[in-house]
């Protein structure tokens, strides 16, 4: 396991010019025989995420049909860098290379600056050959010095307490009161188990409709559950036997990451969201996970942004970068794009059955 670096040290390593003693590296596409060594490299890298893994690749490819280009940098037989990419052919935004779709992480992982340059140069050539409008790198720490950092996204994470009984006191006062109300005043119950996946997905679809956002198809949820068997928790909160909130969370190294949440129309009355996150935090501590990763939020998405701060998490800038090939214009698939304004306003009023089907189709063209 390499020496653990803090965020500033990792960034310095990536932007420092390569020394003359570093040999050039070759770039190739990952093959079947590379699957184990790829995941081992990701797991050992300070900036590696679950989104860099082959499991995420398989779930995306099987669910949406996007073509993966998983690039490996080698010196001799040693892997010194990886870059997971998908070619997305969007009817809304044209052709894009994305690292990684439907994920809050991705981008280039390398041992050094020279390997980063080699991977980025190969990816740029690939974007040109595929006539892409953009190459998106969803890196926590930027690895391409020539590209600006996109100032749209922040991440939230916090080290968990040592003991499960300390979780209540670890939360801010108001968040603590909301979680306690869900448990004691409204008598909510939480159950973990893969058998809840369908109910959680139904709640997720309903919640996304309420937010005027598209929902991913259930196939994606099932593919992820298969890919990360034993590293994925599905939880369902009920009130008087009726589901009011559901959550799909991922486990990677020492962290737990709540990722897909769904809530009923009356969940807020029972503080169901606060309770389900509190229950997840308790289990995470009990099973010796050290970091609670609350994922990302857009800085202009005040609902999500403020909820995470309400729970005691402070934002950190995510260093996403986008390369625009010569002569192209970057696509804008943001929910704030005025082009989607009318559709989003109408979305809330469509029948739920319609939004399930249409959302599943549209999500293929909006890679998250």
* Least trusted range by pLDDT, from 19-23, 105-109, 201-205, 309-313: 19-23
Whole-angstrom distance, CA of residue 168 vs CA of residue 222: 32
Assigned fold of 7-154+319-328: Aminopeptidase (3.40.630)
Is residue 248 scored above 80 in pLDDT? yes
Q: Name 122's Cβ contacts closer than 8 Å, sequence gap at least 6.
A: 27, 71, 83
- Local structure of residue 24 (DSSP, 8 states): P
pLDDT on residue 2? 37
248 touches 284 (CB < 8 A): no
- pLDDT tens-digit series, residues 174-197: 999 999 999 999 999 999 999 999
Predicted confidence at residue 217, as pLDDT, reads: 96
Burial of 342 (0-12, 13-18, 19+ CB in 10 A): exposed
> 213: helix, coil or strand?
coil
Q: Residue 11: is its pLDDT beyond 60?
A: no
Residue 284: predicted pLDDT: 98
- Provide the percentage of residues in the chain whose pLDDT is more than 70: 94
Cross-strand pairs, 75: 78
Which of 34-43, 180-189, 278-287, 349-358 has the lowest average pLDDT?
A: 349-358
- Identify the CATH number of the domain defined by range 161-289+350-359: 3.40.630.30
Q: What is the pLDDT of residue 22?
A: 65
Is-contact 255 290, C-beta < 8 A?
yes
Has residue 133 got a pLDDT over 70? yes
Report the distance separating Cα 365 and Cα 368, nearest Å: 9
Give the integer Cα–Cα distance in Å for 152 and 367: 16
Return d(Cα 212, Cα 262) in angstroms, integer: 14
Please compute the mean of the pLDDT values over residues 197-211 and round it to a whole number: 96
What are the C-alpha distances in Å from 91 to residues 241, 357, 361, 366?
A: 42, 17, 11, 9
Task: Give strand pairing partners of 252.
Answer: 255
- Kindly report the average pLDDT of the chain as a whole number: 92
User: For tokens 């501590």, what's the residue?
Assistant: 285
76 contacts 82 by C-beta, under 8 angstroms:
no
- Residue 131 sits at the vertex; the CA angle it makes with 106 and 128, to the nearest 5 degrees, is 70
**Contact 81/73 with Cβ under 8 angstroms?**
yes
Give yes or no on whether 7-154+319-328 and 161-289+350-359 have one common fold.
yes
| Contact in structure between 58 and 110 (CB atoms under 8 Å) | no
Please report, for the chain, the start and end positions of each structural domain, with discontinuous segments joined by +.
Answer: 7-154+319-328, 161-289+350-359
* Cα-based angle 161, 162, 163 (whole degrees, multiple of 5): 100
Taking the C-alpha atoms of residue 282 and residue 65, their distance in angstroms, rounded to an integer, is: 37
Say what the pLDDT of residue 200 is. 98
């Amino acid at each position: 396991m390499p020496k653990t670096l803090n965020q500033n040290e990792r960034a310095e390593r990536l932007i420092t010019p390569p020394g003359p003693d570093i040999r050039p590296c070759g770039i190739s596409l990952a093959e079947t025989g590379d699957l184990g060594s790829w995941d081992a490299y990701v797991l050992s890298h300070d900036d590696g995420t679950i989104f860099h893994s082959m499991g995420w690749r398989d779930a995306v490819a099987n669910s949406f049909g996007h073509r993966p280009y998983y690039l490996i940098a080698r010196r001799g037989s040693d892997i010194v860098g990886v870059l997971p990419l998908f070619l997305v052919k969007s009817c809304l935004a044209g052709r894009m290379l994305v690292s990684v779709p439907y994920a809050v992480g991705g981008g280039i992982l390398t041992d050094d600056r020279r390997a980063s340059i080699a991977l980025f140069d190969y990816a740029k050539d690939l974007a040109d050959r595929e006539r892409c409008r953009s190459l998106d790198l969803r890196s926590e720490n930027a690895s391409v010095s020539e590209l600006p950092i996109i100032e749209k996204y922040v991440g939230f994470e916090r080290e968990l307490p040592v003991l499960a009984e300390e979780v209540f006191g670890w939360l801010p006062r108001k968040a603590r009161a909301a979680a306690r109300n869900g448990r004691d005043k409204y008598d909510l119950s939480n159950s973990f188990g893969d058998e809840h996946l369908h109910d959680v997905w139904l709640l997720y679809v309903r919640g996304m409709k309420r937010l005027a956002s598209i929902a991913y198809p259930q196939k994606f949820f099932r593919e992820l559950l298969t890919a990360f068997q034993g590293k994925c928790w599905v939880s369902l909160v009920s009130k008087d036997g009726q589901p009011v909130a559901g959550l799909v969370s991922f486990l990677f190294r020492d962290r737990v990451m709540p990722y897909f949440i769904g809530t009923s129309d009356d969940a807020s009355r029972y503080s169901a969201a606060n309770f389900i996150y509190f229950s997840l935090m308790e289990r995470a501590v009990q099973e010796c996970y050290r970091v609670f990763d609350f994922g990302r939020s857009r800085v202009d998405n005040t609902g999500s942004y403020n909820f995470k701060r309400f729970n005691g998490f402070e934002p950190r800038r995510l260093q996403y970068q986008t390369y625009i090939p010569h002569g192209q214009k970057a696509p804008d698939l943001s929910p704030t794009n005025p082009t989607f304004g009318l559709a989003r306003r109408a979305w809330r009023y469509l029948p739920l059955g319609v939004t399930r089907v249409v959302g599943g189709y549209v999500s293929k063209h909006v890679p998250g």
